[in-house]
A = this chain, B = another copy of it.
């Protein structure tokens, strides 16, 4: 299969890059000085695109690649892929569900504990020598807090299962109520936010869920509420979030994603009630290897005319 051209949208994982290079004819899109020129010259060679949370296959790229058959995503989120265009052109799309569910759920709980118990701040307190001068302040108990989840898919359910072990009552919002689920359903995100102590974003990013956490939701969550975002930056209206935190209209936030990664609003750096992570949700050695294997497995299956492992389209 080493004559099959695969375009890797951006750097994402060296193991994956290595494997793609070994098995296919790999084009590294980020090393190309003139992208339009490159596409023009190589459009007939490229049959696959490998994308991730940062870059995928928008309408423009798809149109530029007439031989494109499959987009294999190194993420579970599909917001960087024009799914409608792929459907229209019969292009297959795969992602990496399940293998990253646990890591992302673990991180959500980690963020909740880190924000409520001020773990990063206390660690800083020790390393700066301040403990010698006095005890750290009291923080807030996590066990028993009401956790509200936006989106009860694989990741949302995994977060719920973990939070339940801390006796957290679980409630959720999703497009449709799930009658088989024993958690409390709220028909709107504002109502969910008003009711819970900790609001977690765990739904896919689509046109409908863009800025699903807006000023009204943030105000409903309130000065004792905490927002946890392990979804996508654009789920949250970031300037509203920043001013709410600043003005103490929101109690705290644990954020793994931002609207313009890797740029993080610097106003947040001085706050002790936020935890800011560099989009590490699925960032463990174990999981990225499993994700890479899924990308490769899907590509090989496609070109061997076998059933795709994790098709979306």
Q: Determine the distance from Cα of A275 to Cα of B275 in the docked complex, in whole angstroms.
A: 15
> Within residues 98 to 148 of chain A, which ones have a CB less than 8 A from any CB in chain B?
102-103, 105-107, 109-111, 113-114, 117, 119-120, 122-127, 131-132, 135-136, 138-144
Interface assignment of A38: CB less than 8 Å from any CB of chain B: no
Asked if B280 and A122 sit within 8 Å, CB to CB, the answer is yes
Known: A109-B113, A117-B107, A143-B102. A123 touches B276 (CB 8 A): yes
- Please determine whether B138 and A285 come into contact, CB atoms closer than 8 angstroms: yes
Please indicate the chain B residues that have their CB under 8 angstroms from the CB of A232 in the complex. Answer: none
Besides A103-B143, A106-B141, A119-B275, 6 other A-B contacts (C-beta < 8 A):
A110-B113, A110-B117, A111-B119, A123-B277, A131-B261, A136-B283
Query: Can you offer 10 A-B residue contacts whose CB atoms are under 8 A?
Result: A102-B141, A107-B113, A114-B120, A119-B275, A119-B277, A123-B277, A126-B277, A136-B280, A139-B280, A140-B285
A165 beta carbon closer than 8 Å to chain B: yes
Is B123 touching A275 in the complex (CB atoms < 8 A)? yes
List the B side residues contacting A107 at CB < 8 Å.
Answer: 113, 117
A 56-78 binary contact with B (CB < 8 Å = 1; else 0): 00000000000000000000000
Task: Select the stretch in A21-29, A180-188, A212-220, A262-270 that faces chain B.
Answer: A262-270
Which chain A residues in 271-313 approach chain B with CB under 8 Å?
275-280, 283-288
Does A161 make an interface contact (CB < 8 A)?
A: yes
Complex A-B, nearest 9 residue pairs according to Cβ-Cβ distance, in ascending order: A165-B165, A110-B113, A102-B143, A131-B262, A141-B284, A126-B276, A131-B278, A120-B120, A141-B286
Question: Is B119 a contact partner of A119 (Cβ separation < 8 A)?
Answer: yes
Checking B105, B141, B261, B288 against A103 with a beta-carbon cut-off of 8 angstroms, the contacting residue is B141
Q: Please give the count of copies of this chain that the complex contains.
A: 2
Q: What distance in Å separates the Cβ of A245 from its nearest Cβ neighbour in chain B?
A: 14
Distance in Å from the Cβ of A115 to the closest Cβ of chain B? 10
> When the two chains form the complex, which single residue of B123, B164, B280, B288 contacts A120, counting CB atoms closer than 8 Å?
B123
Does A3 have its Cβ within 8 Å of any Cβ on chain B?
Answer: no
| Complex Cα spacing A278 to B125, Å | 8
Chain B proximity of A258: nearest CB distance (Å): 9
C-beta contact mask, A149-186 vs B, less than 8 Å → 1, else 0? 00000000000011011110000000000000000000
Q: How far is the CA of A164 from the CA of B161 in the complex (A)?
A: 10
Question: Please, which residues of chain B bring their CB within 8 A of the CB of A144?
Answer: 102
Known contacts A132-B262, A276-B123, A106 near B138 by CB under 8 Å = no
Within 8 Å by CB of A106, from B166, B262, B288, lies B166
> Nearest Cβ distance between residue A133 and chain B, in whole angstroms?
8
**Contact (A119, B127) CB under 8 Å given A139-B283, A280-B139, A285-B140:** no
Tell me the nearest residue of chain B to A132, going by C-beta: B262
Q: When chains A and B are docked, how far (Å) is the Cα of A126 from the Cα of B253?
A: 15
B-chain residues with CB within 8 Å of residue A114 when the two chains form the complex: 110, 113-114, 119-120, 123
